[in-house]
Every structure is written in structure tokens, then in C-alpha cells.
Amino acid sequence: MSKISLNNLSHSYLDQQNNDQDWALRDIDLEWSNGGAYALLGPSGCGKTTLLNIISGLLRPTKGEVFFDEKKITHLSPVERNIAQIFQFPVIYDTMTVFDNLAFPLRNRGFSEDKIKARVKEIAEMLDLSQTLYNRASGLTADGKQKISLGRGLVRSDVNVIMFDEPLTVIDPHLKWILKSKLKELHQEINRTMIYVTHDQTEALTFADQVVVMHEGQLVQKGTPVELFEKPKHTFVGHFIGSPGMNILSCELINGKANFSGAAIEIENKPISHKTYSKTQIGIRPEFVSFSNTGIAVKVLKVNDAGRHKIIDIECDGGKLKMISSVATTIPSGTAYVKFNSKYTYVYGDDWIVGK
Amino acid sequence: MSLELKNVKKKIGAETHIYSTDLKFEKNTINILLGSTLSGKTTLMQIMAGLDKPTSGEIWFNEKNVTGVSVQKRNVSMVYQQFINYPNFTVFENIASPLKIVSISSNEIKNRVGKVAELLKLTDMFNKKPHELSGGQKQRTALARALVKDSGLILLDEPLANLDFKLREELREELPRLFENRDCIVVYATTEPMDALLIGGNTATLHEGKIIQYGKTVDVYNKPNNVISAKVFNDPPINTTKVIKKDKTFSIENNSISWQCQSNLGALADGHYTIGIRPHSITPYKQTENSVQIKGKVLIAELSGSESIIHFQSGNIKWVSLSTGIHPLKVGAEAELHMDVNQFLYFDKNNKLINHV
Amino acid sequence: MRKTVNQKAWFFVLPVFVLVAFNAAIPLMTVINYSFQETFGDNVFFWEGTRWFKQILQSDRFHGALGRQFLFTFIILIIQVPLGIAIALSMPKKGMGVSVCLVLMSMPLLIPWNVVGAMWNIFALPEIGFLGHSINALGIDYNYTQQPLAAWFTTILMDVWHWTSLVVLLSYAGLCAIPDAYYQAAKIDGASRWSIFRHIELPKMNKVLTIAILLRFMDSFMIYTEPFVLTGGGPGNTTAFLSIDLVKMALGQFDLGPAAAMSLIYFFIVLLICWVFYNLMMRHEEQS
């Protein structure tokens, strides 16, 4: 197991780069310690798969270095880095049984058949594959095949890091839930460094201890799911994380205080008074907006029942907002008042959180 | 205007893909077909469209029998999961294509395409070809092409499944707005319960070729008429377990957890029943006064920024709890959680819902 | 999804139907007619029953030609299939090299078959042909017009030169269809090059290879033009394959009855082997 460091990593798929758009990754600096569960979260095309392939050695970066512990491994092949990768669609050896599939990496490295048998049985047990161990791998369902892919990575006990590239893409939705929880359970059990790439925030936030949000080849924010949720540093993170995402609306900064919908709003961050911005916005998550007797006057537009809670569309002078209430909350009709939880209300200048 | 399926059945060889189905969809409704893969949603949609003929039964549209009428003669639009567009046409030409087949003046075509493109935010993309578009834009083009026809029946087969999470959210929110004031019937097939709940409208739950329940989405969710219908809303999956009723007390089989019968449940016969408890009814804190405690060992703790999903085991039953906020329960430790009795769903030995006030 | 059924579509098939009837079905009927009778021309026929069939099936000459044919086809397949796969494996998948390789591989396939025969005829001549002269210069006594072994060697070499490209192109198409992720996963698993070939490439090329083998089998079993122009079936009849022998009988000796019978037997052998192939393919499909 290793500490992973990425220094000043940039990558372009083109031979010549004329502008920012030609770079798939720009100036990535990251450090991940041993044994954690990490996620690379971002929309399609943000560079997360490129970054994953650079870490695994399937791609050589245009600029920058990759270190495992203090050793520079940028030029090493995937085999030499001792990593395992699970791809979007299951990759299995069709002609072999489940057992032989799981044994394959160990056989290539020359382990004895006894050791192989014991290890394969252990991993199969962990992944609920013991019943089908001697069946042909090609006969299993998609989630069974993905488990085999995962098993081939786990079966090597000296693996430095296990990487997942949107592994639940082809899995049926009702099995996705089960496999997602299984991956979390696995990490809890074996505690190996795991990096999970996805565009699905539910997968990223429930799996990882630390999430890296990426956008257009750059690292936007890195933190725990709670940090990203409670204090997004960029409006993109605020919008991308949370379902529905953060409400981001224009506001004015007057004398260091935020003015929204004609009234002063209490905010958590202290703006630096002498700085000027071309665009100032206020950000508040739907979870932190609640009905009250006084505050911002709003009109209730629509109530959506999402089963576990209610998502309410409201409108005020400052714009349209969403708020989340528990199922039991009574929704006032006509005009109502809402207040923002000031601890989680922030001002953003030119999309970045202002002040400290 | 209505779409009615009368006793529609579909068999392929010896296998029954759709069992005898009766459905009626009214004008200006969005009707969701919710079920897992292979539950029969696509087969049913193809029969509704006229792309396939039922083995027996009739389809009536607008009080006319259209069974066997081929899809070209019906006024139907369809949107697929796989962003289907003509690869050699620009966005404008793609959207205009259904209008070009019928003789309409080019001014009128421009007009209608313009209106639909504005609705779907595609006005800047007119000269681009599909391969230059992102996934979301491709699907918007397919949607625009479906809407421009002004058809009476619009069918959408898992249209958001191949889109990124956030794009799915955005487009899902726009859908109801796209279909209002069109005087059409919309049928939307999906495997995601969230799609059904957030789009609203009516939902038909499907399981293995049978329609289990049809009604307003909120009603189907809150009052599933049997366990299968409850289980179709599987994000997150509902907890089910066997209980025994004796006198005025319910208790979980092989467990010490018990609670008093509320409302008219006391009048039920003593015996075995099944309960369904949605994960958000089980929380590490007390939601209401009427809650029962359950102790168990924490197996998995999935903590996202805003919610905690706790998998725990009490006795030999595994439970899933979903609560707002972060509750960092330690894996392997004993924990105490609370179940809101008011939200329990009771099913009899035939798995049918027992309605109680 | 069921396609809509429109009976009028059958009319589109009518012209082809007429053409095939005229060019194939009617001549076939004629051959069958001849095979059961004896004729010397002038539309005078004498019924012979199954005499010609018995005669052919028992003749040494037929056995000889059949044996040579099977041997030839066997050698061809043994050489061309592995060679074709090997060349396909070494062709680049991206960049400029792709077009260059594809063009080079297609070229032998574009040459008219009798020209191929004529080319090799001159190329292998012991005195003036580049190949013939070079081999003799190495000290090996080589003359394909007089030595049966040399004739076989030259015929096989010519066929390999002509047709391996077909196997190459088909295998290459099969290889290109394999997603990158398989190679990446194999790299990560530490698989050797041979392992990758055995467990990923070969299984995934299965369908394409079956078609390639079937095509090469059929074509080599019916081969006529190239060996005829090259050796004429000689020296003697050592390279007289089934078709060459058949034509000699029909046109050379004008034994129409036996020739018709032989061509029917030929036809059934090819049909039988194709049927076996087809069943093997179908069973393999079902298994996977």
C-alpha cells in the first residue's frame, strides 16, 4: 500500500496545445495517504478517466510526475506499479471459469496452486461468488462479471491501489444499490487504497472518505463529503453536489454585507471589503432553507413529493429557489416566509467563495 | 382523447412477455411505467406505439380501434435511451425531419422548429451535427424531434438513462414543462423510482410482465397495494419482514421488538403478517412519539454529505436506515435506532396491503 | 422488434429469382439429366441409371484427384490461417501505417486469377523466372514443369501469396473490434503476450476466423484457374485437382455422362462439408 502523490500533472491528447481547451488535465497537485477511499467526481469530459489512467500507468502524462511513496513511477507500466483497475464494462476471460479468472493474475506471477486455491476461495467468499466458482465466467450476469473483475484485483495481496472507472455503469439499477454497498463494505473490511471515478455523486459521496471534484481538466475542490456539502468553495461544487444542487442567485455586496431580495442576509464567510468582483452571488443549499414566520417573502410554486422528503419550488424577488422539507412539514399556501441557515449561507465572488 | 389497452397479451413462442393488461391513459397526463429491466416496459411501449402487435387484445386511441395499424399511420413520437438522431443531418434538419415527410411549407417548418428548439434550449446549435454535440444536447435534439410533430402520443423509453447524474436531474425537471399545453398523452418508461416521484403524474408499477398497480404516483408510493408494488420503489429498497399479531400487539418474528396496534389494526385476526418499512422511517434519532426502538450491529455506514445510510443487523435480519444529516455510527459497534410506527405498511398473508386509517 | 410484413416485397426478389433460375437452376437440371444418361450429342440419350456414379466412385482416377484435392486444401489451411493471423497481429491499429498495410494486403486479391497463374508460371520458370533461377542458383534442382514436388511447392506458394491476404483482412477486422479495456486489464493482470493471444484475441476472433476458414476451404476446394494456368495439372496429373480433372473429362474426353456424375458428386462433397461447418458454428453459438 502506498501514499500517492501527483505533482503538477498536465495532459493533452493533441501533439500541439494552443489554448486551454487543448488540455485534458491542467496542473493537478494531489496527495493521498494509505488505505483511504477516494473519489474523482465530475461531469463527462472533465478529465477524471484521464487522471485515473495516468495513476494506473495506462497513460503517460504530457507533463508532471506521479509518486508512490517517495518513488517516482511516472515511467513505470501498470504491472510494475502493482495496481488493479476495474473498468466501465466487465472485462473477463470468456473461455475460463470464474475460478480460473480469479486465479489468472496469481498464476502469471508464479504462485503455487495451493496458495492460489486458498486465496481465490477467500476472495470468492468476500464477493458472494462461491456458488458459481466453477461455472463458465461468460454465463454470469453483468454484476457477477464486474465482481469477477473486482476479484482479480483483490486476489493479489500486494496491490498498491485499486481503481474503479465508473464500475456501475452497466449494472441493473436494482443491483446497483447492492453492489454499491458491497464496495463500501469491502473497503471497510480490507482497508486498501481505492480510487473511484464517477459522475454520480451518490456513489462518490457514500463511498469515499475524500472526494476530488473536477471540472474541465482542473481540480476544483478536494475534501470530505461533509466539507464539500456544507462549504463548497466554488459555485460549480455547490451546483454539482447535492440533489438538487445549491441555490445560487445574484446578490449585492454593500459595505461588506450581502444584500439579497431587498434585504440584508446573514452569511457565514466574511468578504474582504476592498476586493471588487464582476459577479457576486449568494449560495444556500435547499436543505438549509426553511419556513419561518418572518424573513424573505416567497410564493410557493410547486411541491414535489420525493418519498423520503419534499422538494419545494419557491419564488422570491431575488429569483427562483428550491427547498427541502421533511415529509411531515405543512406547506403554507400562497405567500410564505423562509429563512436561510446563516451557518451555511455563503457569498461567492466570480464563482469562488469570498474571504476566508 | 385517451389511450386504452383492453386485455392486451403478448407471447413470444412459449414465453408470456405481457400478461393480460387493461390500462387507460387520459389526455394531458404523464404516465410512468416503473419496473426493473426485463419487466416488460419496452414491450408494452412498442405495442402502444404500433411497432409490435399484441398476441391478443385491443388498443384503442381516441375511441378508435388501432390494433394492427402500423406505426407510420399513427400519430406517435418516440424517444429512446440511445440518443437516436440522423447522423448526417444538422440539428435543424433533424428536428425538421418529421415535418418534411408531410408536405408543410418551409416557413411553417422554420416556425415550428424554432419554437420547439427554444423550449429545449437548442437555438444556438442549429448548424451542428450530432457527433459535435454532448450527450445531453443529443437527447434534447431527439426530444425536439419528437415534440415538433405535435403527436397525440409521446413515448419515452428510459430517455435519461445514458446521461450524467446532473444532466439527468436537469432534463427531468424540464420534462413536465415540455409536455404541458400539448393535449397529448405521455408515456415514460424508467427503472428509477426517483424519476417517477419527481416527475409526478401517474405511475404503473410493472413486475415480470404484469401491471401491479396504476394510479397517481404519490398514491402508488404511499399505498402500494401489495409487497411487489412496494418493492418496485427500490431506491432505497424497502425493508420487509414477517411479524406476528397477538391480541393488540405486533412483534417481529424471532425478535423481542414489539409495538401496540394502532387505529383499526387491533380488529385484525391474530396470525402472521408482513410489514414493509421504508429506510427513511428508521433513524438514529426519534422522529415521532410513536416509535419503537431497535438495537443492532452496524454493518456498513455510507455517509454522503447530507444523508446517512446505515446497514445494520438485528438478530438475523438485515435492515437499512436512511436519515438526513451525518450520523457517524461506528462499523461493528452496537447502535440503537428508532422506527416510526406511523409509517409502517402492513400486508396480509397474500401480500395484499391492509388499509388502516 | 418485428418488422412490418408487406407481401409486395416478394416482387423485388423476382428479377434475381429469374436470373438465378436461368444461370444456375436450369444448368443444374441439365447436369443432373446428363448424369443419368449416355450421349454422343445430337440430343440422343440412352438411360444408364446409376452406372456413371458407380464408375466414378470406384475409379482410381477419381480417388487420386479427390486425395490430391483434400491434401491441397489441408496444406493451404494449415499455412494460410496461422500466417494470416500472425500478419494481422503485427499490423498497426492506428496512424498512417494502417492505410498503407490495408492497401498492400488488398493488392493480391485484386489481380484476375488467370493473371495470377500466368505471373507465377513465368516467375517460377527454372531458366528465366526470378524465383526458379534463384532456387536453382542456390544449388537446389528445381523445375516445376517436370518435378511433382516442385509443382506442388509452386502451386501452394502461389495460393498462399494470392489468398492469405483474405485471412489477414478478416482477422484484422476481428482484432480491431476488441475494446482496449481487455488489453489494459490483461496488462494489469501481468499476462504474457501468448496469454493475451490465447485468452483474449483468439476467443474474440472466433466468429471471424470461422468465416475465414469456411471461405478458404470452399475456394481452395474448387480451385481451377490458377493451377490450370500454372501447371495445367502436370507434370502428368500430379497437380490435377478435382476441378481440373473434371474439366479434362468433360471437355477433353467429351465423356459428358461421367463428367456430369462427377460434378454432382463434387457438389455434394462440398455441400456436406459446408453443412458440417454450419452445424459446428451453430452449436458453438448456442454454447456461448
Evaluate if residue A107 carries a pLDDT over 80: yes
Nearest CA among C204, B339, B68 for reference residue A91: C204
* Residue the block writes with cell 429469374: C18
Nearest CA among A117, A106, A2, A127 for reference residue A55: A2
Contact between A56 and C188 using a beta-carbon 8 Å cutoff: yes
Closest CB from A207, A241, A306 relative to B194:
A306
Q: Are residues A77 and A170 in the same domain?
A: yes
pTM, rounded to two decimals: 0.82
pLDDT tens readout for residues B102-138:
888 889 999 999 999 988 889 888 999 888 888 889 9
Pick from A235, A268, A285: which residue ends a domain?
A235
Q: Which of C183, C189, C198 to mutate to test the interface with A (most CBs of A within 10 A)?
A: C189
Question: What would the grid cell of residue B303 be?
Answer: 455517509
Evaluate if residue C288 carries a pLDDT over 60: no
> Domain span at residue A181?
4-235
pLDDT tens readout for residues C235-260:
888 888 988 888 888 887 777 888 88
- Which of A77-81, B316-320, C206-210 has the weakest average pLDDT? A77-81
pLDDT band at B158 (very low <50, low <70, confident <90, very high): very high
Nearest CA among B187, B95, B172 for reference residue B133: B95
| Cβ–Cβ under 8 Å, residues A133 and A98 | yes
- Name chain A's partners: 3 or more CB pairs within 8 A: B, C
Q: Are residues A206 and A92 in the same domain?
A: yes
pLDDT value of residue C94: 83
- Average pLDDT of the segment spanning B148-170: 90
pLDDT value of residue B29: 92
- Name chain B's partners: 3 or more CB pairs within 8 A: A, C
Reported ipTM: the value is 0.86
A275 found inside a domain: yes
Query: Selecting from 3.10.310.30, 2.40.50.140, 3.30.413.10, 3.40.50.300, what CATH number does the domain B239-347 have?
Result: 2.40.50.140
Evaluate if residue C1 carries a pLDDT over 70: no
CB pairs below 8 Å between B and C: how many? 7
Beta bridge partners of B311: B300, B320
For chain C, which residues make up each domain, given as ranges? 59-287
pLDDT tens readout for residues C32-78:
888 888 877 677 778 877 888 888 888 888 888 899 999 999 999 99
| CATH number for A346 | 2.40.50.140
Evaluate if residue B152 carries a pLDDT over 60: yes
User: Distance (Å) from the C-alpha of residue A46 to the closest C-alpha of chain B?
Assistant: 12
pLDDT tens readout for residues C116-160:
999 999 999 988 899 999 999 998 888 888 889 999 999 999 999
User: Distance (Å) from the C-alpha of residue C195 to the closest C-alpha of chain A?
Assistant: 9
Evaluate if residue B213 carries a pLDDT over 90: yes
pLDDT tens readout for residues A267-319:
888 776 667 888 889 999 999 999 998 888 999 998 998 888 999 999 998 89
Domain over B2-226 is classified CATH 3.40.50.300: yes
Evaluate if residue B268 carries a pLDDT over 70: yes
DSSP string, C120-142: HHHHT-TTT-HHHHHHHHTT---
Q: Is C256 in a helix, a strand, or coil?
A: helix
Q: Are residues A194 and A280 in the same domain?
A: no
Contact between C1 and B52 using a beta-carbon 8 Å cutoff: yes
pLDDT value of residue B235: 81
Q: What is the mean pLDDT of chain B?
A: 89
Q: Angle of helix C130-137 relative to helix C113-123, nearest 10 degrees?
A: 30
For chain B, which residues make up each domain, given as ranges? 2-226, 239-347
Query: How is residue A139 annotated by DSSP?
Result: G
Q: Are residues A213 and A254 in the same domain?
A: no
- Name chain C's partners: 3 or more CB pairs within 8 A: A, B
Q: Are residues A119 and A159 in the same domain?
A: yes
Q: Are residues A213 and A106 in the same domain?
A: yes
Greater confidence, C56 or C83? C83
Residue A202 touches partner C, C-beta closer than 8 Å: no
| CATH number for A170 | 3.40.50.300
pLDDT band at A219 (very low <50, low <70, confident <90, very high): very high
Domains B2-226 and B239-347 fall in the same CATH topology: no
Q: Are residues A348 and A320 in the same domain?
A: yes
Evaluate if residue A111 carries a pLDDT over 70: yes
Pick from A203, A235, A267: which residue ends a domain?
A235
pLDDT value of residue A148: 92
Q: Are residues A201 and A62 in the same domain?
A: yes
Give the C-alpha separation, B120 to C124, whole Å. 71
Residue C3 touches partner B, C-beta closer than 8 Å: no
pLDDT value of residue B267: 82
Residue A287 touches partner B, C-beta closer than 8 Å: yes
Give the C-alpha separation, A268 to A281, whole Å. 14
Give the C-alpha separation, A201 to A213, whole Å. 10
pLDDT band at A1 (very low <50, low <70, confident <90, very high): low
CATH architecture of structural domain C59-287: Orthogonal Bundle (1.10)
Percent of chain B residues topping a pLDDT of 90: 44
Q: Which of B302, B324, B340, B342 to mutate to test the interface with A (most CBs of A within 10 A)?
A: B302
Number of neighbouring beta carbons within 10 Å of residue C232: 17
Q: Are residues A135 and A64 in the same domain?
A: yes
E strands, chain C, where?
Answer: 37-39, 45-47
Q: How many domains does chain A have?
A: 2
pLDDT value of residue C160: 96
Q: Are residues A231 and A249 in the same domain?
A: no
Percent of chain C residues topping a pLDDT of 70: 97
Greater confidence, B95 or A272? B95
- Average pLDDT of the segment spanning B324-345: 89
User: Distance (Å) from the C-alpha of residue B52 to the closest C-alpha of chain C?
Assistant: 6
Evaluate if residue C166 carries a pLDDT over 90: yes
